[in-house]
Structure 1
Amino acid sequence: MLLSNPELAPLILAAILALIKLCQYILSSILGTSFKTLRPKRLWQLDPFLGLDTVVSSYHRLRLHRFLSTCQERFTQAGNTYVARIPGSEIIVTCEPENLKALLATQHQDFELGERRRHAFRPLLGDSIFASDGHIWKEARQQLRPSFAKDRLSRAETIDIHVNALVETVHAQQKRDGIVDLQELFFRFSLDVATSFLFGDSCHSLSAAKANDSAATEFADAFNRSQQRLVDRFVVGSVADFVPNSQFKKDCLTVRTFAEKYVNIAINRSRGEESGDISKQPPSILADMAGQCGDIGQLRDQALSLLVAGRDTTASLLSNLFFVLSRSPNIWHRLKAEVETLEGRRPDPAEFKDLKYLQGCIREYLADRYAENLALAEVECTVVKFLQHFDRMSAVGPSDWKEQLTLTCCVKDGVKVTLRPREDIQGDLQNYEQELLEVPAFREG
C-alpha cells in the first residue's frame, strides 16, 4: 500500500538508509569496545569524496623527497591515528605505538596488508610474502622461516669475501676520484651478499661497476628502478594504472627473468637433474626452498622478497649509519678506539657482542626484524673493516638529510665522503689488492 504512493518513496528510502547507518554505528561501537579501540579523527581534505587532493599532495611531496615530513604534518593535524579518503576506499593511518604493536605482534592475525599494497607490489614481487594475505601469506612465512636462521645468515667466509671487495673498491675510487659515494657501493655490496646466500652465486655487481660492465649491472639497475616505482604505485593507489611506464615493465621483466634462471637451477637440483654447470653451484637458500615447492612462479616470488629484505635492509642501514659517522668525528673516533682492541684481526661472534658502542650504533638504525640476522652480520663486518682500514672519514656535500624512499629509506643525495687510509695500509695497498685478487669468488667476478 505504501509503495503504491510515490510521494512516500523518498521518505521510505531515507528511513532505510538511516536504519542502515544506525546498525553500522552500533556494530562499530560494539567491535570498538571489544577491541578497546576509539573512533579515529578524520583528516581534513579539500576533496572529502575521492581524496584526490591528498593523493596529488603525497605524490608531489614524494618527488620532492619530503614525504616523511608530510606524514608528520598530517599526524600533527589529525592526531596519531586518523581516517582519510583516497580514490576507491578509506584508509586508517597510525603511528601510535600501541596500534603498531597490535598490528605487528599481539593482534597481527586480525589484520592484513590490503589490496592497495598487493596491487602496488604485484608487478615485481607477485604473490610473495610482501604482497600477499591470508593462507598464501601463512604458507610463504612457513616456507621462508628457515631462511632467516642465524647460522644460515652469518657465514663469516662468505661475508668477508664481499666486504674485502667493497673495501678494495672504496680504496680504488678514493685514489682515482678523491670522493666516494658509499651508498651506491653499499647497495651493490649487499646485493652481492644477498645473491650469494639466496642463489648460491653472487651477481658481482661491485666488480661489474668497477669494470664498467654495463651488461653485468643491468640487473642491479633494473632492481633499483623497479623498487622506486613500487613506492610511487603505493602512494597514488589505483591511479597508477593510468600512468604508462614502459621502463617499469621492462625492469620487472629483467628482474624476474634473472630470478627464474636460478629457480630453474634449484628445481633441477632438487629433482636430481643436474648438469655439469649446475652441480658446481654451492648450496643455497633457494635450493632448500625448491625441495619443499616445485612451482617456478612461487619460488621466484619468494626469492625476490628475500632479495629485497637481504639487500635493502643492509644497504639502508649502512647508508644512514655512515651518513651520521661522516659528520660526527667524535663517534667515529670512539668506535675506532673500541675496534683497535682487536689489533687488526676479524672478531669472532662473541667479540662482536663485546663491542658495546658498535652494537649500540648499529641497533639505532636497525628496524627490519626479518632480515636482522643477515643485516647485523654484514654491518658488523663492514664497520669494523672500515675502521681498521681508514683513519678518517669526512662528509662531502649537503649536511641536511633528505629521504629516498624505496621499500626502505636511505639518503637522497647519497653518502659522499673522502677517506684517509691508514698509513701502513696506504703504503702497502698494492699487496692488499693482490691478496683480494687471489680470492676465487672476487677474481671470477
Structure 2
Amino acid sequence: MVYVTPGVDFLAKGFLILGAFVGTIITLNSSVAARAGYHIPTWMLLAGTTIAIPVLSTIYKMMENLKIGYPGDGLDEVMAKRGPVFNMRVLWSDLMFTASPEHIKAMLATDFQNYVKGERFHYNMESVLGTGVFNSDGTSVPFHRSITRPMFTRERISHFELFDRRASQVIDKLRERLREGYAVDFQDLMSRFTLDAATEFLFGNCVESLSAGLPYPYNATYVPPIKRTAKGDAANAFAHAFLEAQEVISVRERYGWVWPLAEIFKDKSYEPMKIVNSYIEPIVKEALEKKRNLPIREKGKEPSDGETLLDSLVRVTDDPVVLKDETLNIMIAGRDTTASTLTFIIYMLATVPNIMNRLREEILSKVGNSRRPDYDDIRDMKYLRAVINETLRLYPIVPFNVRESVNASTWKSDDPNQKPFFIPAGTKTAYSVFMMQRRTDLWGPDAEVIDPDRWLDERLKTYVSKNPFIFLPFNAGPRICLGQQFAYNEMSFMIIRLLQNFTSVELHPGSAPPEAHPPAVWAEAGGRKGIEKVFPKMHLTMYTNGGLWVKMTESDGTN
C-alpha cells in the first residue's frame, strides 16, 4: 500500500486550488488588458500573489512565541487594548478568541451542541488520538463517557493501595538520589509516577518507568553507570514517544490549516506512535482473547473491584481500534495532567516556604508522619485542597483550548454598552482558562499572587461562588472531566506522602539545564511572568521546560 504523508496530500489538493486561483487571476488580467489596453506582467502578478500570502511571517511569529514566549504572550497585549474577546484572523481564517467566562460557559455548557471539536481538529489529531473521547463529537461523546464512567465511582477512585505502592517507590527514588548529593528533576519523577499508576489502573499492566532510573543533572561531574534492563529501556522509550506524539499534534494545531507543509517528507507522529502502539496493542489483544475464552457463566457477572478500565471496556466493544484509542486518550488525561499539577504544586511550595510549612502542619496533625491517608483524611484537609486549587488556577492543566461553531451565533459583550459579537457558522473559537483565571477584574487585584487562602476566606464568596465558571481546571458541561476526583485523590495522596517524609523543598537552578531557565527578558515584564523561576510551556498540557530541579530535606520521623 502506498503511504502518503500529510504534506504530500496537502500539496496535491492545494496545488489544484492554487493553480485554479492563479489561473483565474491571469485570466482576469488578460480580460482587463483587452478592455483597458493595459497589461500587468505575469511575473508581477505571481510575485504579488506570493507576497500577499502571509504564511511564513505568521508561522514564524507563532513559533517564536512557542519557543521563548510565556503562555498568552501576544494575546495579553491585544486583550489589554480590545478586551477579552477579539478576532485573531490567522492565515485568512477567522479565529475568535475569548477569556470571558460567559462565552466559555456557552461553548462548554449552555450552547454545547453548537460548539464542536470539528473536522479540522479531528484531522489534526487523528493520527494520535484516533476515535477517542478527546477527538469525538456529537452522539459519540455520551457513548465514550458512558463506557468509562463506571471506573470512576467513589469506590474505584479510592485506589489508595495503588497510589501507596507507587508513592513508596517515589520516596525511595528521591531519598536515593538526594543522598548522593544531587538534585532531582521532580517533573520527570512525577511523570514516571503517574505513568506507572495510569498504566496499572488502565491495563493492570504497569510500564514500570520508575524502575528505569532517574536522570542526573546535566552538569553532574560524575554519573555512575545505570544498570539498564530491557524493561527499563522499553519504559523510557514509551514515555519519550508518548510525549513526542503529543508535541507533534500540538504544533499542528498551532500551525493551523497549513500544518501539513511542515510534514511533507514524513508524518511526524508516525514513529512515536509505532512505539506507543507496540505497547498498547498487545495488551488490547490479550484482553480480547481473555474475553473470548471466558466461560459463559462468568460473562454476565458484575465487575469486580480489581477490574481495570480495559476489562470494563471489553465488556462493551470488541473493536481493537476503539479500545486502543479510548485507553490512550484516558492515559493522556490521567498521566500528563496529574504530573503537571504535582510539579507546579512543588514549585509553589519551593518558592513560598510559609505555604509549605502550613500545609505540612495540617498533614501531620491529620495523619501523623507515617500513617497512610484514606478518603476521609483527604476530604477533611481544607488547606491541602486550597493549595491544589490555587495551583490549578495559576497553572491550569490545559491552558488553551478550541472549538468550532456549527451554526451562526452571538456572544454577549462583557461591556453592556457594546453590541454582541457575531460568530459565523464554521468559525474556530479559541478560549483560555489560563488567561481567564488570572484576570484581576474576575479574581481581584491580587489575581497573579499565589495565595491558597483565597479558597478559604471571603474572596471565595466574592468571586468564585458568584460565578463558578471563572474556575475551570477540569472543563465543564457535558465534557467535564470524569476523572476529576481521581486526580484530586492521587495528587493529595502524593503530596501527603511527600510532606510526611520531607520537611522542606528548594529549587536548585544550578542543576537545571540552560533551557529550564526563563529568558532574561522576562524579568522586565509585570505579573507572574516577571518573577517566574521556571519556564512554563505547553503541548496539549502545561509543563516546565527542562524540568523542575529541586533538593529536599528528609524528615527524621519526629518533626
TM-score (norm 1): 0.78
In the alignment, which of 266, 269, 280 is matched to residue 287 of structure 2?
266
Indicate yes or no: 2:196 matched with 1:192. Answer: yes
CA distance change for structure 1 residues 218 and 268 in 2, over 3 Å: closer, same or farther? same
In the alignment, which of 343, 346, 362 is matched to residue 368 of structure 2?
343
Match of 1:111 in 2: 115
Indicate yes or no: 2:554 matched with 1:421. Answer: yes
Tell me how far 1:88 sits from its aligned partner: 6.6
Q: Structure 1 counterpart of 2:186, which letter?
A: L
CA distance change for structure 1 residues 179 and 133 in 2, over 3 Å: closer, same or farther? same
Report 1:37-436 matches (<5 A).
53-87=57-91, 89-210=93-214, 211-212=227-228, 213-244=232-263, 248-272=269-293, 283-341=307-365, 342-344=367-369, 345-366=371-392, 367-368=473-474, 369-370=480-481, 371-397=483-509, 398=517, 399-424=532-557
8 Å Cα contact 2:280/2:324 also seen in 1: yes
Q: Structure 2 counterpart of 1:72, which letter?
A: D
Match of 2:444 in 1: none
Q: Structure 1 counterpart of 2:155, which letter?
A: D
Tell me how far 1:115 sits from its aligned partner: 2.8
SS of equivalent to 1:407: coil
SS of equivalent to 1:250: helix
**Which blocks of at least 5 consecutive residues in structure 2 are unaligned?**
1-27, 29-50, 215-226, 296-305, 393-472, 475-479, 510-516, 518-531
SS of equivalent to 1:388: helix
Tell me how far 1:260 sits from its aligned partner: 1.4
Cα distance between partner residues in 1 of 2:109 and 2:368: 42
Tell me how far 1:301 sits from its aligned partner: 0.7
Cα distance between partner residues in 2 of 1:164 and 1:393: 18
Q: Structure 2 counterpart of 1:417, which letter?
A: V
8 Å Cα contact 1:233/1:240 also seen in 2: yes
CA distance change for structure 1 residues 85 and 167 in 2, over 3 Å: closer, same or farther? same
Tell me how far 1:51 sits from its aligned partner: 6.5
8 Å Cα contact 2:148/2:309 also seen in 1: no
Tell me how far 1:166 sits from its aligned partner: 0.9
8 Å Cα contact 1:340/1:388 also seen in 2: yes
Cα distance between partner residues in 1 of 2:150 and 2:92: 38
CA distance change for structure 1 residues 270 and 76 in 2, over 3 Å: closer, same or farther? farther
Tell me how far 1:144 sits from its aligned partner: 2.4
Tell me how far 1:236 sits from its aligned partner: 0.3
Write the deviation string for residues 33-62 of structure 1: whole angstroms up to 9, x where unpaired. xxxxxxxxxxxxxx9976764443222211
Write the deviation string for residues 324-365 of structure 1: whole angstroms up to 9, x where unpaired. 111111111111111111222122211212211111101223
| Greater RCO (CA < 8 Å, at least 6 residues apart) | 2
* More helix as a share of residues: 1
SS of equivalent to 2:385: helix
> What CA RMSD, in Å, does the superposition of the two structures yield over aligned residues?
2.4
Identity of aligned residues (%): 29
8 Å Cα contact 2:71/2:537 also seen in 1: no
8 Å Cα contact 1:52/1:87 also seen in 2: no
8 Å Cα contact 1:50/1:85 also seen in 2: no
Tell me how far 1:67 sits from its aligned partner: 4.1
Tell me how far 1:163 sits from its aligned partner: 0.7
Cα distance between partner residues in 2 of 1:411 and 1:294: 39
Cα distance between partner residues in 2 of 1:126 and 1:260: 14
CA distance change for structure 1 residues 392 and 294 in 2, over 3 Å: closer, same or farther? same
CA distance change for structure 1 residues 86 and 165 in 2, over 3 Å: closer, same or farther? same
Tell me how far 1:108 sits from its aligned partner: 1.2
Tell me how far 1:150 sits from its aligned partner: 3.2
Q: Structure 1 counterpart of 2:503, which letter?
A: D
Cα distance between partner residues in 1 of 2:58 and 2:82: 14
CA distance change for structure 1 residues 321 and 415 in 2, over 3 Å: closer, same or farther? same
CA distance change for structure 1 residues 52 and 419 in 2, over 3 Å: closer, same or farther? same
8 Å Cα contact 2:185/2:547 also seen in 1: yes
Cα distance between partner residues in 2 of 1:255 and 1:65: 30
Q: Structure 1 counterpart of 2:485, which letter?
A: N
Match of 1:44 in 2: none
Q: Structure 2 counterpart of 1:267, which letter?
A: L
Cα distance between partner residues in 2 of 1:271 and 1:425: 54
Tell me how far 1:182 sits from its aligned partner: 0.4
CA distance change for structure 1 residues 360 and 199 in 2, over 3 Å: closer, same or farther? same
8 Å Cα contact 1:226/1:252 also seen in 2: yes
SS of equivalent to 1:151: helix
8 Å Cα contact 2:503/2:553 also seen in 1: yes
SS of equivalent to 1:152: helix
CA distance change for structure 1 residues 147 and 353 in 2, over 3 Å: closer, same or farther? same
Tell me how far 1:114 sits from its aligned partner: 2.0
SS of equivalent to 1:66: coil
Bigger CA drift: 335-344 or 193-202? 335-344
8 Å Cα contact 2:249/2:269 also seen in 1: no
Cα distance between partner residues in 2 of 1:356 and 1:95: 29
8 Å Cα contact 2:184/2:551 also seen in 1: yes
TM-score (norm 2): 0.63
8 Å Cα contact 2:348/2:391 also seen in 1: no
SS of equivalent to 2:139: helix
8 Å Cα contact 2:163/2:494 also seen in 1: no
Tell me how far 1:175 sits from its aligned partner: 1.6
Tell me how far 1:227 sits from its aligned partner: 1.1
Write the deviation string for residues 214-248 of structure 1: whole angstroms up to 9, x where unpaired. 23311111111111122111100232212235653
